[in-house]
Amino acid sequence: MEVLLISIFVLGYLAITLEHTLKIDKLIPALAMMALLWAIVSLAHLPVFEVDTALKQLVPSHIEEILLHHLGKTAEIIIFLLGAMTIVEIIDYFNGFATIKSFIKTKSKKSLLWIFAALAFILSAIIDNLTATIVLITILQKVIGDRDVRIWFAGLIIVAANAGGAWSPIGDVTTTMLWIGNKVTTGKLIAYLLIPSIVCVIVPVFIASLLPAFQGNIPALENKEEEEPTHPKGAAMLYLGLSAIVFVPIFKTVTHLPPYVGMMFSLAVVATFAEIFSATKINITSIDDDHDEASHHSPVHKSLSKIELPSILFFLGILLAVAALESLGMLFQFAEGLNTAIPNTDIVIMLLGIGSAIIDNVPLVAASMGMFSQVTDDPLWHFIAFSAGTGGSMLIIGSAAGVVAMGMEKIDFFWYLKKISWLAFLGFFAGSITFMLLRGYIA
């Protein structure tokens, strides 16, 4: 039965990678794979488990409970994502990103690459790598009209955003897991990972800047969007929207509630000001006929209609599909077997980072939290945070930032594999070596 389940996962994964060849949207194999895996688990009455990190063992559970548990965890991410994407779309509705765009005066591709990489690295640590990717690709679309040029920048934004998210407790979901699980503290996380993360960005960006794709100047935009006047409330909405996103970790720290609760509150505040600024009724949920005209002009309605729902559904399918394998204990057993076969934990963790490009890094980190029993702030936990956070850059579907960029720019899986993956690997390897060299000097 295990062979059948793994075969379904591999075939589903293969269908996702061959999306453009098969001419089917990647959400279809992701959702089908998820449904088939859980259906087999249910029909075959296979035992399901939860990972007990304290006892470092699998604890039997019931399928309804474990499925609800994974659905809840997945829903937290999806709702957070929906809130962030809606805020970004509201900012864009008011042409708020023109404020940042106005600071970008250079037309040099090489200079733009370094600017966007730096912005991705810094923003991802503040507003998480996923949201930073959404924001920067939105700005990128305003600056570069040629998609063939733009996807090169998008690929490096993914690498920089994932590296920037690794050294911040709110920068990446796996780092947040380790932070909430009392495996790392904020101060030590920054001390251990800031320099390796910087190296992880500088190496691929420097090499990329020497490639033909980043030589010369960007072509001028041929559409009329540049000629449109800036919205008078654009700058205000930009600062309000970004401040609302930055407020989310503060809300979580104060209330100890999951991040999506704070994101929904931030969305409510931003939506309120958006309705006021656009001089329409505050009518976010009403579907009455009397309000159709107001709804048609509502910035919130327009922003929600622009959300990339196929990417959301793909995210749902792939996370719950991996959750099925995790619930059967396969990932936990694989991680334990790997740890036994390879006594060197550094190699194991680097393999975990490479594996996070193929399999979602959330269950891999969850399994690793059950595998090891080191104390808080042991270098091992920080290396796991780095590997899981940056390793996903090696494949475009290896991180949430990559998945969103793939949806926003329709980036082909194999194009990314050929053009960006080797750069991401070099950054990951250089950052890992830097971490190993520096960890002995950090008390």
Query: CA-CA distance, 322 to 361, in Å (whole number)?
Result: 10
Predicted confidence band of residue 281 (pLDDT cuts 50, 70, 90): very low
Taking residues 16-32, report their average pLDDT. Answer: 82
> In the predicted model, is pLDDT for residue 175 greater than 50?
yes
pLDDT at 294: 47
- How many domains does the chain fold into? 1
Most confidently predicted of 31-45, 241-255, 390-404? 31-45
Q: CA-to-CA distance for 234 and 202, rounded, in angstroms?
A: 32
pLDDT by residue (tens digit) across 404-417? Answer: 888 888 888 889 99
Q: Which domain holds residue 58?
A: 2-441
Mean pLDDT of the chain: 83
| Whole-prediction pTM | 0.75
Q: pLDDT tens, 58-86?
A: 777 888 888 998 898 888 878 887 888 88
CA–CA distances in Å: residue 210 to residues 88, 109, 216, 220, 347: 32, 11, 11, 22, 31
Per the rule left: phi > 0, alpha: psi between -120 and 50, beta: everything else, 218 is beta
Residue 246's nearest CA partner among 154, 155, 135 is 135
Residue 159: what pLDDT? 94
Instruction: Report the pLDDT value the prediction gives residue 404, as an integer from 0 to 100.
Output: 83
Residue 376: its pLDDT value, please? 83
pLDDT value at 12 more than 60: yes
C-alpha to C-alpha distance for 208 and 113, rounded to whole angstroms = 9
| Crossing angle (nearest 10°) for helices 379-391 and 147-166 | 170
Give the residue, 417 or 356, on which the prediction is more confident: 417
Amino acid at 206: F
pLDDT of residue 55: 54
User: How confident is residue 331, by pLDDT bands cut at 50, 70 and 90?
Assistant: confident
Instruction: Give the span between the Cα atoms of 160 and 209, in whole angstroms.
Output: 14
The whole-number average pLDDT for the span 87-111 is 81
Higher per-residue confidence, 265 vs 348: 265
Q: Which CB contacts under 8 angstroms, 24+ apart, belong to 117-121? A: 117/156, 117/157, 117/159, 117/160, 117/201, 117/205, 118/160, 120/156, 120/157, 120/160, 120/161, 120/164, 121/160, 121/161, 121/163, 121/164, 121/197, 121/198, 121/201
pLDDT exceeds cutoff 50 at 290: no
pLDDT tens track for 223-266? 444 445 567 888 888 889 888 887 887 887 788 888 789 989 99
In this prediction, residue 268 has a pLDDT band, given cuts at 50, 70 and 90, of very high
Q: What φ, ψ does residue 168 adopt, rounded to 5°?
A: -115, 140
Mean pLDDT lowest among 101-115, 277-291, 380-394: 277-291
33 membership: H or E segment, kind and range: helix 27-43
pLDDT tens digit sequence for 122-173: 888 877 788 788 888 888 887 888 888 889 999 999 999 999 999 988 788 7
> Cα–Cα distance between 33 and 133 in angstroms, integer?
27
What is the greatest pairwise CA distance in the chain?
A: 68
Residue 8: what residue type? I
pLDDT tens per residue across span 305-328:
888 788 788 878 887 888 888 888
- CA triple 89-95-100, angle to 5 deg: 100
Residues 364-377 as b/e (b if ≥16 CB within 10 A, e otherwise) read bbbbbbbbbeeeeb
